Homo-oligomer: A and B are copies of this chain.
Amino acid sequence: MIDCGEGAQLEMQRQRLKFSRLNHIFLTHLHGDHVFGLPGLVSTLGLNHLGGELTIHTFEDGKKILTQIFNYFSRELPFEIKFNVIKPEEAIIFETSAISVRTIPLSHRVQTVGFVFEEKEKLRHINREMVDYFKIPISQMNNIKRGADFITESGDIISNNRLTLPPTPSLSYAHISDTAYMPRIAPKIGAVDLLMHESTYLEEHASDAKDRGHSTAKQAAMIARDSGAKQLLLGHYSSRYKDDNLFLEEAKTIFPNTILNREGLTVSLD
């Protein structure tokens, strides 16, 4: 989960997302509309007797204030809350054998980071016909999926690209909210499959956006274009606008493959 606004637990229930699959929460910054759902979510996780642990990735300040809240309202949880203290800088903050998560510092009114989630390169697919032909033993299969060549009993080297097909592409997602327009983050984001970039304002209010540490739809689209992202997801609209489609129209003039975030939207990357 990235950020946790008030009512997040209700939205999880509406979408039938399993609480037991939630093990990591990444907080971009410590403004209430990105945090106030956490105390209730943690209480509910406790009532559901979720075991294991929940890791919250946040700044030192977040660890401090959330610890105070949890200590008061969730004294006896049946799981452990761990904090991974992050900083407003470029860093890999979390890594498993399958994915990595890195931060990009943003420009908002308080310390803020964006997150880039990247799948690592996956195992190559076995070319079943060739593997049968060379009678490759099962014990070698994982090495070959990882790209190793095969050496026959007679000493011949069979190149890996004869035995395998390219892996399923690795997917990536960048979450950039909240921030003023920062052209220099585009190359840091890179060619992600999906970029969520905040667009609190329309270009006609670009100076309000700058003053408040937010972006316009056009600016979000420029970041998408310049990063090489495949698709742009807009979100975090100011309530001063009555029609979200204005954001979509403005962004599409710069970056056509743009969609609007709405409550409950699901986007499939593959």
Q: Give the interface of A toward B (CB within 8 A).
A: 6-7, 9-10, 30-33, 35-37, 39-40, 43, 61, 65, 68-69, 72-74
Check B32 against A43 for contact (C-beta < 8 Å): yes
Question: Which residues of the partner chain B approach A72 to less than 8 Å between Cβ atoms?
Answer: 30, 61, 65
| Complex: A33 Cα to B30 Cα, angstroms | 22
Is chain A's interface secondary structure helix, strand, loop, or mixed overall? Answer: helix
Closest residue of B by beta carbon distance from A35: B73
Among B6, B30, B35, B74, point to the contact of A37 (Cβ < 8 A).
Answer: B6
> Copy number of this protein in the oligomer?
2
| Complex: A43 Cα to B6 Cα, angstroms | 11
- By Cβ-Cβ distance, the 4 closest A-B pairs, closest first, are A6-B40, A32-B73, A36-B40, A32-B43
Among B31, B37, B69, point to the contact of A69 (Cβ < 8 A).
Answer: B69
| Complex: A61 Cα to B69 Cα, angstroms | 12
Question: Which residues of the partner chain B approach A10 to less than 8 Å between Cβ atoms?
Answer: 6-7
Closest residue of B by beta carbon distance from A39: B36
A106 CB to nearest chain B CB (Å): 19
Closest residue of B by beta carbon distance from A37: B6
A216 CB to nearest chain B CB (Å): 20
Check B36 against A32 for contact (C-beta < 8 Å): no
